[in-house]
Structure 1
Amino acid sequence: MLTAMVLPMVSCRRAVEKARRNIRLEAVEKVERKGMGGAEAVVRVKNGTGYKLVLERAKVDLFYAGSRVMSITLHGRVEVPRRTTGSFTSLWRVRTTDPMAYYVMVKKIREDDISQVAVSFAVEGRGGPASVKNSEEMVPLSEFLNIFGLSLQDVKNYLDE
């Protein structure tokens, strides 16, 4: 009985580890503002799996000193074909909820002071037959950037555009 319970868990863990090796965000190639309420991001993604990946929903909230400053929401879906490495464009809605706090946050980021900047995010999608949901609350900006292989300089470059 115990073997019947443990084997699926081990094989599931192996599948997750294999997927982690085969799916990778390789680079954020471009982020461009589109008017006051939008942005376009081009990312380079590796999908070494046998399944099409679909990002159906994504939302990122930026916080400064514990208060929400901005919300960024995926507009439309993004599909990455199986066994592909390529650049993919995504459109985002950008809403600044506190313009003064946003100004202070940008100033602090330019000064390399990100101690009070945090990010919450939620993503939903599919990887073949499996649905994927992931979310984190109030992650320090430095940790969030590490998750996606980004640097503070990448953020500064976006702010300077």
Structure 2
Amino acid sequence: MQPEWLPNWLSLILEWMHQEQTLVAGLLALVGAGTTVFFLRRQIQFQERQWLDTIKRRDRANRASLPLALSELVDYCLDSYSVCKQIYSNHEKYKNSPPSLAAPNIPEKAIEVLVSTVEDSLRDDVSKASSDILNKIQVAHIRLKNSIDTVSSASNIGNINNKDA
């Protein structure tokens, strides 16, 4: 039943394939699955290398901008210290006249750099130190604002008492 133009060896192969078509389909599926696994692994490795390179670049960028951010935070701390010094050295004077004190603004760019350092640092000690600095700056800022509010409300009470007298 084979065509006359078909070589005998090819006819034998085609007949074997017809009889063993389940086995042939399984082998083709196995080769396809193996190829898929191979290319997926290569893609995953490439993406992991790319992710690690991105993290390394972010870490280098954060470390490069960290000195400037810390310098801005030192300036903020010095400004906060001068406000605290005014509050606590003149607290008796503030009972009669309202102070014009305001907490200095936290340097947002420095905070962004510290947050980025916490997220992207490859070293745990640098990440933890940055996190500690962030926590302490926020607590100090809130305490300073509360001190200013306390002095302002105390001076307002003093002014009200002076008006009543």
TM-score range, shorter chain: under 0.3
Larger radius of gyration: 2
Q: Which is richer in strand?
A: 1
Q: Which is richer in helix?
A: 2
Pick 1 or 2: higher relative contact order, CA cutoff 8 A, min separation 6. 2
TM-score calculated relative to the size of structure 2: 0.26
